Structure 1
């Protein structure tokens, strides 16, 4: 029988041995989230940003059925360019490994694998959440229930504004997931700085986040995830008026074309890219680079 153990890239293996700070990174942004050839360039920039802030990047993905924490550049290039790369949530990992597939991990899968590898900090762009009209479709991202049972800190820019933000925050509360605003008491909406919803808690430094992590470990009570919602500065967000128009048009197009399920998010993000003439893509890149830097600073503070 084949060896299905998690593999570790050389840099990550050394960092684990030396107890250096590590930041987990997803691979769906490489294979599904960004257009070619920007995807590989941005993936490398994300890793470089983590290194520059003092931590080791651990991009997680699967090549030929081998689940790896800390893809090397050749593996990263493969996932960025190969056709038919599967989008792996937690439920898909074992099946894809047994099939010898290529796969990119979602927020949910990356969180689960990172914790299995002893990595408590993860940087991404935005979380999945409750979809609009979920009361009829029951369409909710696996990110939420995974965070409820996975003790990881996820640095993100909130949830994508194409979702039902209010319902997502309600579900996070029900599932016991801690949500911290970074420098804000308002929940960010990915492309936009303020989604219109208040938060109960905020932190203002990586050291404060590290203290939350330490308190959680000491108490042993909270076993779920912590979301650090890191908004874009207002002068770096997508113009809110342009955002609202683009979202309304995209939702109407979605209904006309009958797009449902997993296809909804990539469809709407592609619509944003084309309708804003690439401006939303530039915002998306700013988001993930800022989150990668903050996650690295938190990892450094937590290691201290």
Structure 2
């Protein structure tokens, strides 16, 4: 185990004994949700994992130390820290050297999970290819990072503010296999069907275990992406989603919002225009992905 990476005793013992562990990111409670809901959701996720007989490994940086298996006190502290930084994989060494507190993105969480020997990771939505990427080359670091890690990552697809068809093309180019959980409709995070299809679906976790076994046996080192849509009765109503998304994109263009400011601008706009309904969907998505990830982790023992 790298000396620069700290594991909680519980996670270390579970990995060493082959007990199931599920990785969880920290940006959802450091940057994604308002207080105090952020702490509630983070601790609820750990409870869901434990109820399935799986060890939760929430990942973040504490005083610059990459930590796999944050304690409750550490989760609460990071959730209430106004100075906590958002840490992608490229930022980890810098944040560590500067001894910063950090919430880890999908890319950073996935990398640290893999280094710790954790095989399954649940998140809300993946990063992807941004709209207008043909000119800006704006693409999330999540994709390239996951292409080199033999994990299983459960998500509700990518947020609909991104360019979904281009994202699917990039997943194919990067040899990232995508299976829909009981669907071939690729989810768009806020909605169960983005309007784009994927080729394969799985009916249960046993199929996922078989896929992982074959992948690992062949020495393929890319992540298996499990697309788990939010339930149709919990999604943002399609007409509301489409109208608000169009309005948000128009507002961003009118205000000349670009680069790293685009995503937070669009998400904040959607949250305000839906009077918080998009936030409720976000939480519902996360709960479902955590529950499914725990099932997969338990089955991969």
TM range (shorter): over 0.9
SS of the residue aligned with 2:44? Answer: helix
> What is the CA–CA distance in structure 2 between the aligned matches of 1:241 and 1:205, rounded to whole Å?
31
What is aligned with 2:76? 77
> What is the CA–CA distance in structure 1 between the aligned matches of 2:256 and 2:108, rounded to whole Å?
28
1:117 maps to 2:116: yes
For each residue in 1:206-253, what CA deviation from the matched residue of structure 2 results, as whole angstroms up to 9, or x when unmatched?
111111111111121x21111100011211111010001111111111
What is aligned with 1:194? 193
For each residue in 1:156-191, what CA deviation from the matched residue of structure 2 results, as whole angstroms up to 9, or x when unmatched?
000001100000000000011000000001100000
What is aligned with 1:237? 235
What is aligned with 2:249? 251
| Structure 2 gap segments, 5+ residues each | none
- Among 279, 292, 295, the residue aligned to 1:294: 292
SS of the residue aligned with 1:214? Answer: helix
> What is the CA–CA distance in structure 2 between the aligned matches of 1:219 and 1:12, rounded to whole Å?
28
What is aligned with 1:6? 5
- After TM superposition, the structure 1 = structure 2 runs for residues 215-230 of structure 1, keeping only pairs within 5 Å, are 215-220=214-219, 222-230=220-228
Q: Bigger CA drift: 286-295 or 78-87?
A: 78-87
> What is the CA–CA distance in structure 2 between the aligned matches of 1:64 and 1:257, rounded to whole Å?
37
TM-score (norm 2): 0.97
How far is the alpha carbon of 1:4 from its aligned partner?
5.5
Contact 1:4 1:66 in 2 (8 A): no
Q: What's the Cα RMSD here? A: 1.1
TM-score (norm 1): 0.96
Contact 2:188 2:194 in 1 (8 A): yes
- After TM superposition, the structure 1 = structure 2 runs for residues 275-286 of structure 1, keeping only pairs within 5 Å, are 275-286=273-284
SS of the residue aligned with 2:86? Answer: strand
| Structure 1 gap segments, 5+ residues each | none
Contact 1:46 1:289 in 2 (8 A): yes
How far is the alpha carbon of 1:281 from its aligned partner?
0.8
Q: How many residues align?
A: 300
